[in-house]
Amino acid sequence: MASNREREELHKAIWSIADDLRGSVDGWDFKQYILGIMFYRYISENIANYINEGERKAGDTTFDYAKLKDSEAECERANLVKEKGFFIRPSELFCNVIKSAKSDSATFTDVEGKTKNVKDNLNEYLEMIFNNIENSAKGAESEDDFAGLFDDIDVNSNKLGATVTKRNEKLVKILDGIAGIKLGNYQDNNIDAFGDAYEFLMSMYASNAGKSGGEFYTPQEVSELLTRLAIVGKTSVNKVYDPACGSGSLLLKSAKILGKDNVRNGFFGQEINLTTYNLCRINMFLHDIDYDKFNIACEDTLVSPQHWDDEPFEVIVSNPPYSIKWAGDDNAVLINDPRYSPAGVLAPKSKADFAFIMHSLSWLATNGTASIVCFPGILYRGGAEQKIRKYLIDNNFVDCIIQLPDNLFFGTGIATCIMVLKKSKKDNSTLFIDASKDCIKVGNNNKLTENNIIDIVKVFEERKDVEYTAKLVSNKEIEENDYILSVSTYVEQEDTKEQIDIDVLNKEIDEIVEKEQTLRDEIKKSIEEIEV
């Protein structure tokens, strides 16, 4: 397939850049540079192509924005910011900076009005360009979507080199490497080249970075399963939401599966980590999601939720952090928060899992579905967590619990589950699915295959008992089991031990005894012959 060849070439090119800088920049830090520069290239080409297409359709078939003087382009700044959300001067386009960085004569004017050589001051030039791009959106509708996007690309970091000269040498290598990747036009690719490059980098570094990587990254196959569960029966939805969105992979799965135009009002998320928040916004742009189709906030979802005034979400997909600490009952006002108050109790301070679940339920549309990765402990522990489970079951909000294989996530071998929530169920029962064996082994991790995902979703859709796999349990029975929601409580485990046939075993023993006696007789006869 052409798409597979393109993807392999893309991954090989990215690995080559990383290999070239190995030992000088730590992998997880290097990711920030390569993604940031890739994003810079993307928006440069995006705005240049947009302008060129418009001018060529108007009759100027040879128009090239990259060759325009900055002064000539300024007259269109306001219109471009309104239409695209940002503005880049022709001289500051990625393609022109590559040329300037290798020219002895190329100059720029810094913020103080001084003329400087680009080659000798590349780090300063790039920093100025990044600031110019962010500042171009100030005062516009897109301001929040561009503010701070380049903050994690520290072109003056000692990690790039001990001197300015060495830093600039590394920056040129990164620029050249990114320039050499065959990305082409977004519309012409058989693969989502920019988006695939992003996902490859995330998986590449998450696999090597332990928790620091896995904290940001949900494996694509898990994202796929969560999304397909949440969109069953839907061809379009109003909005998609993730309350702990990380780098945005879960949000973008809906765009890929449904088609971004079938997510009518866009993609919404919240992320507490500033670096990851920036990565998420970059990821949106790299997947060709325009600034007016996403709204990502950088706040603590549990105590400072955004999007209060928005229409409830038809699709919520999330892999919130497992059992983190939160304010809980140390914050006296939280028990009156309309997200948590219906359960009459808050999630424990040391385990915020149910706080994320209650928040998601509150944000969920009446006709919506939420699929959330959760830690198995919350399904059977007592105390406040049991009381929250009681609230969820008594009000018939839990649609399904799915036990996943262990070792699916980078940085942890923990077994995980998926809780599916709905507000408008057709029955008073909960489906339990044991998918703990639905995987293949890849290195030290397990992986869901496409067929695994299809099989799990099929069982979920059919909503009926399947021996050793699924059980539809009445909420009354769950109540009688003290509201335990562990899959193993309801789905019988298949006995894989080989059954022993006693008659066959006895016959084998008799044969062994007979052979033993024959051997004894032969030994005795041999000894007697020797003695004679």
Q: Count other Cβ atoms within 10 Å, centred on residue 74.
A: 11
Structure tokens belonging to residue 329: 């009952």
pLDDT band, residue 160 (cuts 50/70/90): confident
Distance between CA atoms of residues 220 and 209, nearest Å: 17
Strand partners, 471: 432
Lowest-confidence region among 65-79, 495-509, 512-526 = 495-509
Structure tokens belonging to residue 341: 């108050």
Name the nearest CA neighbour of 27 among 35, 222, 246. 35
Distance between CA atoms of residues 345 and 326, nearest Å: 14
Q: For residue 522, is it left (φ>0), alpha (ψ between -120 and 50) or beta?
A: alpha
Q: Count other Cβ atoms within 10 Å, centred on residue 341.
A: 14
Burial annotation 479-508 (CB, 10 A radius, 16+ → b, else e): eeeebbbbbebbbeeeeeeeeeeeeeeeee
Distance between CA atoms of residues 371 and 254, nearest Å: 12
Tell me the backbone φ, ψ of residue 53, rounded to 5 degrees.
-60, -40
Q: What percentage of the chain reaches a pLDDT higher than 90? A: 61
Structure tokens belonging to residue 374: 């959760």
Crossing angle of the two packed helices 249-258 and 220-230, in degrees rounded to 10 = 60
pLDDT at 311: 87
pLDDT at 524: 67
Contacts of 375 (CB under 8 A, 6+ apart): 322, 323, 353, 414, 416, 417
DSSP conformational letter for 140: S
Report for 17-21, 246-250, 464-468: range of highest mean pLDDT: 464-468
Distance between CA atoms of residues 267 and 252, nearest Å: 8
Q: Count other Cβ atoms within 10 Å, centred on residue 413.
A: 11
Name the nearest CA neighbour of 356 among 391, 331, 319. 319
Structure tokens belonging to residue 459: 């069982």
Region 384-401: what's the mean pLDDT? Answer: 98
Class of domain 2-203: mainly alpha
Q: Are strands 417-422 and 445-447 parallel, antiparallel or unpaired?
A: unpaired
**pLDDT greater than 70 at residue 158:** yes
Per-domain residue ranges of the chain: 2-203, 211-490, 501-532
pLDDT tens for residues 446-466?
Answer: 888 999 999 999 999 999 999
pLDDT at 35: 82
Distance between CA atoms of residues 30 and 498, nearest Å: 52
Are residues 421 and 357 in contact, defined by beta-carbon separation less than 8 angstroms? yes
Region 358-364: what's the mean pLDDT? Answer: 97
For 211-490, the fitting CATH number among 3.40.50.150, 3.40.50.10490, 3.40.640.10, 3.30.420.40 is: 3.40.50.150
Structure tokens belonging to residue 282: 């970059």
DSSP conformational letter for 4: H
Q: From residue 236, how far is each of 177, 231, 291, 370 by CA, in Å?
A: 39, 8, 20, 15
Q: Is 23 helix (H, G, I), strand (E, B) or coil?
A: coil
pLDDT at 190: 44
| pTM for the model | 0.83
Lowest-confidence region among 136-145, 413-422, 498-507 = 498-507
